Amino acid sequence: MGQNSLPDEVQKDVTALVTRALAEDVGSGDVTAKLIAVDATAVGYVVARESAVFCGRPWFDEVFRQIDPRVEIAWDVEDGASIRADGRLCVLRGPARSILTGERTGLNFLQTLSGTATVVRRFVERIRGTQARIVDTRKTLPGLRSAQKHAVSAGGGDNHRFGLYDGILIKENHVVAAGGIKEAIRAARALNAGVPLMCEAENLSEVQAALEERVDLLLLDDFPTHILAKAVNMGRDFRRYNRGDSVLEASGGISLNNVRSIADTGVDRISIGGLTKHVQAVDLSMRLLAPGAALPDINAALRIALR
């Protein structure tokens, strides 16, 4: 499935999210757009002002589908493409009022999701050559979870559980409330919830206990690198001698400066909340062409590099 082909449940969320965003921005109507003649047509294009990883086509398309299906959009890029500064991303043709009304909402989706995809790609490139995978968390902008998780995938990362319903993740407060890590794991398993059973460990004793309980995923939280390496070796030994198959995931305090050393310990996954909660939007603009003006040459400044 391509980056611009979404599962049905995500597409439904795209539609609902765009509806809310347009209600927020357009409200009872775009007063400024009424300056333009109702029958005026326009040609415009979206341009990148900085290098980035592009993401957000389905949301941008949906903005103009809801505003005015007569607006035609011809894309030069797909989600997951690397783009250069001054690169053309798409061309729009249609009623001028409609293009102007959808401009900001459409760009808001593109700049936010491209920002997430760009950060993810930096982490993915930093650990290239290791076995580790970069993974997101539930630390997303409220209402934008499915969109940001799509952006993580576009950037080359993997998705963790979507919410509280599709995976059990036992954390320190659950352990305290249950009376211990093994007690918490056994209580979770007794639920027969039919979802992955994951558990966080904060020290090597908890690592051993969780491995013995054969959790599906063991989250190694805020471990110094030398302790993390010991935990990974414990996991390898348990797999070798007990046929365990717990996935080992590092988390906590991870940055571009230390992610490579963490990956080099041999962990399977590295989860980073900052991928989706610390968003720096990519600088994008929309420009309408003056009568008789030519579109910028896409090949002059744009490089499409699909994953």
Give me the active site residues, please: 104, 139, 171, 200, 221
First to last CA, the chain: 13
**Other Cβ atoms within 10 Å of 282 Cβ, number:** 25
For 139, half-sphere exposure in the C-beta direction (CA atoms, 13 angstrom radius) is 15
83: helix, strand or coil:
strand
Cα gap 122→155, rounded to integer Å = 8
Beta strand ranges found along the chain (DSSP E): 41-48, 52-53, 72-75, 82-83, 88-95, 133-135, 168-170, 197-201, 217-221, 247-251, 269-271, 284-288
Which ranges constitute the DSSP H helices of 243-302?
259-263, 274-277, 298-301
* Amino acid found at 90: C
Tell me whether strands 217-221 and 197-201 are parallel, antiparallel or unpaired.
parallel
**CA angle, 117 as apex, 112 and 123 as ends, to 5°?**
135
